[in-house]
Structure 1
Amino acid sequence: MRAFGFLSFGHYGGSPAQGGLSARQMLHDAIDIGVGAEEIGVNNASFRVHHFARQAASPMPLLSAVAARTQRIEVGTGVIDMRYENPLYLAEEAAALDLIADGRVALGISRGAPEAAERGWESFGYTGSTDPRGADIARAKFDVFLKAIQGEPMTRAAAQPYMSDAAPHAPLAIEPQSAELIRHIWWGAGSRATAEWTGQLGLNMMSSTLLTEATGAAFGDLQAEQIDAFRTAFREAGHTHAPRVSVSRSVFPIVTAQDRMLFGARPGEGSDQIGIIDGTRSTFGRTYAGEPDQLIEELKADAAVQSADTLMLTIPSQAGVELNLQILESFARHVAPALGWKPNTEGPVQGDPVS
């Protein structure tokens, strides 16, 4: 494990008297957790994106705020739901963010998970999907996004361009451009087929928090097979740069009496779960909670954690800044070094070489 980060769902709502958060407090907490995580040496600060729900939804202002207050930690998403996005506007925002962050972006994108709204992307103006899950428009818009961030022309100049040095009717690309942005794009893959497609495109891969298959094999073993499929497809497509792969886990080191009270073993959390999502039988990963020595052995036995270069810890964002930084610091101090991690002192890690 060369890097670890955190993934926050950004929940808010509920009664303030019972610990509920306002949207404002959630966002400020997220920024403070990102800043504190960098001080610990954590490599990545990422946030989920969900619409029509009391969760983080518009990531660019939040990521820009974290980037502006930090110098080394990556800022990212897990994941942006492409069904809801204008691909050209997202290309502008992503390039601007990458420039603000000096290349510290790890932008996870995918078709998106099930949402609170029924076909909510249509309310955003994106109609025409014949797939009940909207995967067709997500892939089509992502293709436009990739072309845009790589400087391909998206339109032509006017006959008399206003405030522009472009020649009349000359091809125009999206501005700004960030030359290395394409290397900072991750696709969230929940199946082997999607993992292979991601590898063929030469992107980085975020292996999903669930897999749309249930063979009886352990979640980590299924995920490791998915990672192998990604790397094989990447290599066979002829890409020569080094790709990145991340997996997500809920990991709670128990080092104090308070930790034991909050994160002690609960029925069902210590094993993988099988469920139905989008009409597909799927496997969900287990929660890891225990003393550091126990966690080290369990994570060493998790094939996907060992195969990926980056481990993302899903954190209980509603629990506040202090507790979340305590979880990250406990993992950084007592668990991560035994898995091969060193504190981040220079910036984003590089991917594994193609072999």
Structure 2
Amino acid sequence: MKRIGFLTFGHWSDVPGSLVRSAADALNQTIELAVAAEEVGAHGAFVRVHHFAPQLASPFPLLAAMAARTSRIELGTAVIDMRYENPLYAAESAAAADLISGGRLQLGISRGSPEPAERGYESFGHVPANDGTDADMARAHTELFRAAIAGARVAYSDPLSTGKRVPLPIEPRSETLSERIWWGAGSRATSVWAAEQGMNLMSSTLLTEDTGVPLAELQAEQITVFRAAWTAAGHQREPRVSVSRSILPIIDDQTRHYFGLRAQADARDQVGYIGGDLARFGRSYIGEPDVIARELAQDAAVRDADTILVTVPNQLGVDFNARILGSIVTDIAPSLG
């Protein structure tokens, strides 16, 4: 069975038309949307992490609050930029949030995307080695983060206070969280690396490569090479794969007012540059629910993934997005399997 979840960037802006005017609005409405998503039968509530921007930034307090208000749905990130993270503090925070949730966290992490701040991670105290890049640093942070979550001893006790010198793991720990770490891969090469490391795969509506084929086909290639690399690596468990999609069903006058005119304009991929690299941006699926269902059934990556993350226009408020999610779960998802 495919899982359907929402993905919010948590934008806020004090402008006419926005129902999310402040950071407090964004945080509290994200919690309420997780509750509403559970009520309409969605399977997951995921948040995007950005720094130095009016968007969600510090995920673990938010995830813990979402966990305290829900009981069934998965809670996750898509994705945490590991350039900015203290690996051991992040591992402690992730374990605590997972224990509060009863083991429902699905943590997407990655090297991250371009941020508003130039080398903003350095302001957080993280500087790449002299011969390394920020991507190298993100992978090094990831290695230590995952090791700590899995129970590696990362410090020694102080004999002066404990009477002995023994290696220590972080506390608290969640025993199974290490199996629920995903890598946000922007290319086929990074998806192979994620498989070799034993991480699940997240692929968004943006890929940092372009071969001239539609994003759905390129993502399907990405999933194929990921699963082949996973098998070759000899991992024993079955990996999970998610793809993100912009899905906006036209279900009433309000949705038609906001999105009706965009149906044709947004029906194609876009190719452009991000961070100086050529990238392909995925199309939006806008229209009547039965039309979207037929189109998504032909989407090769949607067919191959087990989880679909639906990006939501969060500034339109909780009720609006809950109606959209309800329609997707009821009217569209059944045709996807």
Under a length normalisation based on structure 2, what TM-score does the superposition of the two structures give?
Answer: 0.96
Cα offsets for 1:253-281 (capped at 9, x unmatched) = 11222222222142531100001112111
For 1:30, the equivalent position in structure 2 comes to 30
> What CA distance in whole angstroms lies between the structure 2 residues aligned with 1:278 and 1:221?
23
Structure 1 residues 291 and 131 mapped into 2: Cα distance closer, same or farther (>3 Å)?
farther
For 2:11, the equivalent position in structure 1 comes to 11
Q: Quote how far apart the aligned CAs of 1:209 are.
A: 2.3
Which of residues 291, 297, 301 in structure 1 aligns to 2:298? Answer: 301
> What CA distance in whole angstroms lies between the structure 1 residues aligned with 2:14 and 2:223?
38
Structure 1 residues 12 and 151 mapped into 2: Cα distance closer, same or farther (>3 Å)?
same
Which amino acid in structure 2 is aligned with residue 222 of structure 1? L
Conserved 8 A contact 1:130-1:136: no
Q: Quote how far apart the aligned CAs of 1:88 are.
A: 0.3
For 2:244, the equivalent position in structure 1 comes to 248
Structure 1 residues 265 and 18 mapped into 2: Cα distance closer, same or farther (>3 Å)?
closer
Counting only pairs closer than 5 Å after superposition, residues 153-172 of structure 1 correspond to structure 2 as: 153-161=153-161, 168-172=164-168
> What CA distance in whole angstroms lies between the structure 1 residues aligned with 2:279 and 2:132?
18
> What CA distance in whole angstroms lies between the structure 2 residues aligned with 1:330 and 1:131?
51
Q: Name the structure where helix makes up a greater proportion of residues.
A: 2
Structure 1 residues 319 and 132 mapped into 2: Cα distance closer, same or farther (>3 Å)?
farther
> What CA distance in whole angstroms lies between the structure 2 residues aligned with 1:130 and 1:49?
27
Q: Quote how far apart the aligned CAs of 1:208 are.
A: 2.6
Q: Quote how far apart the aligned CAs of 1:222 are.
A: 0.0
| Alignment coverage as a number of residue pairs | 336
Which amino acid in structure 2 is aligned with residue 150 of structure 1? A
Cα offsets for 1:45-79 (capped at 9, x unmatched) = 00010001100000111110010011101111111
Structure 1 residues 262 and 204 mapped into 2: Cα distance closer, same or farther (>3 Å)?
same
For 2:60, the equivalent position in structure 1 comes to 60
Secondary structure in 1 matching 2:161: coil
> What CA distance in whole angstroms lies between the structure 2 residues aligned with 1:245 and 1:57?
24
Conserved 8 A contact 1:253-1:290: yes
Q: Which runs of 5+ in 1 are unaligned?
A: 341-355
For 1:277, the equivalent position in structure 2 comes to 274
Conserved 8 A contact 1:271-1:287: yes
Q: Provide the aligned C-alpha RMSD in A.
A: 1.6
Under a length normalisation based on structure 1, what TM-score does the superposition of the two structures give?
Answer: 0.91
Q: Which runs of 5+ in 2 are unaligned?
A: none
For 1:219, the equivalent position in structure 2 comes to 215
Secondary structure in 1 matching 2:159: coil
For 1:92, the equivalent position in structure 2 comes to 92
Conserved 8 A contact 1:265-1:289: no
Which amino acid in structure 1 is aligned with residue 147 of structure 2? K
Runs of 4+ deviating beyond 4 Å: 16-20, 129-133
Q: Quote how far apart the aligned CAs of 1:132 are.
A: 9.2
Cα offsets for 1:125-163 (capped at 9, x unmatched) = 11135589711110011111111111111011101335x
Counting only pairs closer than 5 Å after superposition, residues 99-114 of structure 1 correspond to structure 2 as: 99-114=99-114
Percent identical pairs in the alignment equals 54
* Structure 1 residue 317 corresponds to structure 2 residue 286: no
For 1:207, the equivalent position in structure 2 comes to 203
> What CA distance in whole angstroms lies between the structure 1 residues aligned with 2:130 and 2:239?
33
For 2:49, the equivalent position in structure 1 comes to 49
> What CA distance in whole angstroms lies between the structure 2 residues aligned with 1:151 and 1:317?
37
